[in-house]
Amino acid sequence: MTTLTTLGKVWDRVDALSRLCRDDTVPVGDITFDSLDSVRIAQEPHPLRPTAQQHICNRLGVPAQYLRRCPVELQQENLNYWIEKEKNDELFFRFDGDEVRAIFTPRYIPVDNFEVMERLDSLGYGPGTEVQCSLDAEFLSVSIPDSRKTFAINGDRITPGISISNSEVGLSSLRIAAFFLRLVCTNGLITRQAIGAAYRHVSTKIFTEFPSIMGSISNGLAQHADRFRISTESSVDNPEATLKSFSRQFGLSEFEQKALTWAWPQEAGSTMFSVIQTFTRAAQMPGLNAESTYRLQRVGGDILAMVKAPTGKAYAKSH
């Protein structure tokens, strides 16, 4: 769920989440498994978080869904057989206390959330800066609205800005994109990649280019006002069917689809603007993790990018 807060409070939360975090390069010969839930490093047991479980399954080429259906003995046999086939001599482990939160190859160069926060501070975004933020142990999305550039669409005030997202456990690249905050309900929308930037965590190039990327995105914000206006003029024959169609198209999870059902009565209407705002409103449903919140805001941005000027026909029909 997204909340409006300040960068100072985000700093405090980032600090609290990282307090017990550490990294280590582990020799493959020291790795054995008790099950999919537990790995031993030099005989010391460590719980594997779900993301780390997925990482090791992907790395070893064993489907995670298959292993989760297997008895513990078969999980152990599969994992210990395939870890012996690992081509790297070492693997990069990220810990939170005793728990393993992520597993990568040695090429992985992490970009930690505190590094993102430090760079924002160096660019003049101080602790009192108001932001919209979604943050948990696996994902960070922080969006900074610029009230000086607020515009109105049919009386609806929208403030553009910048969105930065990052995952310390590999759920996403470090991304910078344009952001739009609808002031009446604090719905946030993040634009598609076309005017943003993304970097895999094998490079720190993003930090040297951070200021220029932020500037280029900021300069391109105005072009989206027209798309918002057009979305209010684009009729939809069956908006609820259109929501389901987009939900399938973007591969939303079952819980994210429930969020759409929760959001629709609050944004119901017969235009693309209502459809888009349903996705961004869904990002505010209590119980969503930070990654799902970000995904729903991004889908709203992707749909906005599809909007075209009306041609006399409804934009979307029942599916």
Per DSSP, 49 falls in state P
Range with lowest mean pLDDT among 157-166, 218-227, 281-290: 218-227
* Res 202: pLDDT: 52
Q: What is the mean pLDDT of residues 224-230?
A: 84
* Res 224: pLDDT: 76
Strands annotated E in 169-294 = 174-182, 187-190, 197-199
Report the alpha-carbon angle 43-47-51, nearest 5: 125
pLDDT band at 218 (very low <50, low <70, confident <90, very high): low
CA distance 6 to 145: 11
Terminal Cα distance for the chain, rounded:
29
pLDDT band at 154 (very low <50, low <70, confident <90, very high): confident
> How do residues 23-39 score in pLDDT, each as one tens digit?
999 999 999 999 999 99
* Res 315: pLDDT: 42
* Res 178: pLDDT: 84
Enter the tokens of residue 120. 């924002």
CA distance 194 to 309: 20
**Is residue 266 predicted with pLDDT exceeding 60?**
yes
Q: What is the mean pLDDT of residues 167-183?
A: 87
Q: What is the mean pLDDT of residues 206-235?
A: 75
Amino acid type, 244: K
| Residue 287 backbone zone (phi > 0: left; psi -120 to 50: alpha; other: beta) | left
* Res 308: pLDDT: 78
Q: What is the mean pLDDT of residues 256-278?
A: 95
Per-residue CA distances from 280 to 35, 97, 274, 276 (Å): 39, 35, 10, 7
**Is residue 12 predicted with pLDDT exceeding 80?**
yes
Residue 216: Cβ-neighbour burial (10 angstroms; 0-12, 13-18, 19+): middle
Cβ(318)–Cβ(241) below 8 Å: yes
CA distance 310 to 314: 8
* Res 194: pLDDT: 43
Q: What is the mean pLDDT of residues 98-126?
A: 92
* Res 263: pLDDT: 96
